[in-house]
Amino acid sequence: MAVSAPRAWQRMLSGRRLDLLEPSPLDIEIEDIAHGLARVARWNGQTRGPYAFSVAQHCVLVERLVADLNPRLSRDARLMALLHDAPEYVVGDLISPFKAAIGINYKNLELKLQAAIHLRFGLPALVPQTLASLFKKADHLSAYFEATQLAGFEEPIARKLFGAPPRGLKTPRLTPLATAEAQSLFLERFRRLATH
């Protein structure tokens, strides 16, 4: 009896069937991304408030921080910042310590999915290194603000883990949104950036 390969695709609400091992840009829809990211909790849900702080909200925050750090960025660069965690609509948001423990090819899976997402929306498959560094800095700033405002971290520990915000950077006030609101926020920001 022949053994069939395990299923490696997921059906999306749009009706698309996304192959997780070989994702095609043709099977990616922004509505699926927004829907999924609005339902994925940052910090494994260990945040204050009646709602989880979603990856959708985090992505909007990172895009805003990127623009604050470098106001001259193109819309495409800001769109890449907004989509920096888009693969998590399918693979979830594993916390960094767990990603390190897993190792294996998890990062390759994320990178393949990220490339397909970028191609779907007319962006370069790979983020240029200078932008990747800027996105990482904004991601760490977002983590600092999320940690201190929502996840119960004391500032010295957050500074040690994520770095301190630069002087003059406006501190965002973070309020976790209900799923539908987070989804709408992400879609609205995407549409504003994607319309040239």
Task: State yes or no: pLDDT of 57 exceeds 60.
Answer: yes
Q: List the chain domain ranges.
A: 27-194
- CA dist 83 and 30 (Å) reads 10
Q: How high does pLDDT run on average in the chain?
A: 92
Label residue 11 exposed, middle or buried (CB < 10 Å: 0-12, 13-18, 19+): exposed
The torsion angle over the Cα atoms of residues 105, 142, 62 and 50, rounded to 10 degrees, is: 100
**Contact indicator for 127, 135 with CB cutoff of 8 Å:** yes
- CATH code, residues 27-194: 1.10.3210.10
Euclidean distance between the first and the last CA atom of the chain, given in angstroms as a whole number: 55
Q: How confident is the model at residue 10 (pLDDT cuts 50, 70, 90)?
A: confident
Give me the phi and psi of 41, to 5 degrees please. Answer: -90, 135
The torsion angle over the Cα atoms of residues 15, 80, 127 and 121, rounded to 10 degrees, is: 40
pLDDT at 24: 93
The residue to which tokens 């309020």 are assigned: 175
Q: pLDDT tens-digit profile of 108-160?
A: 888 899 999 999 999 999 999 999 999 999 999 999 999 999 999 999 999 99
pTM: 0.91
pLDDT at 91: 82
- Non-local (6+) Cβ contacts of 128 within 8 A are none
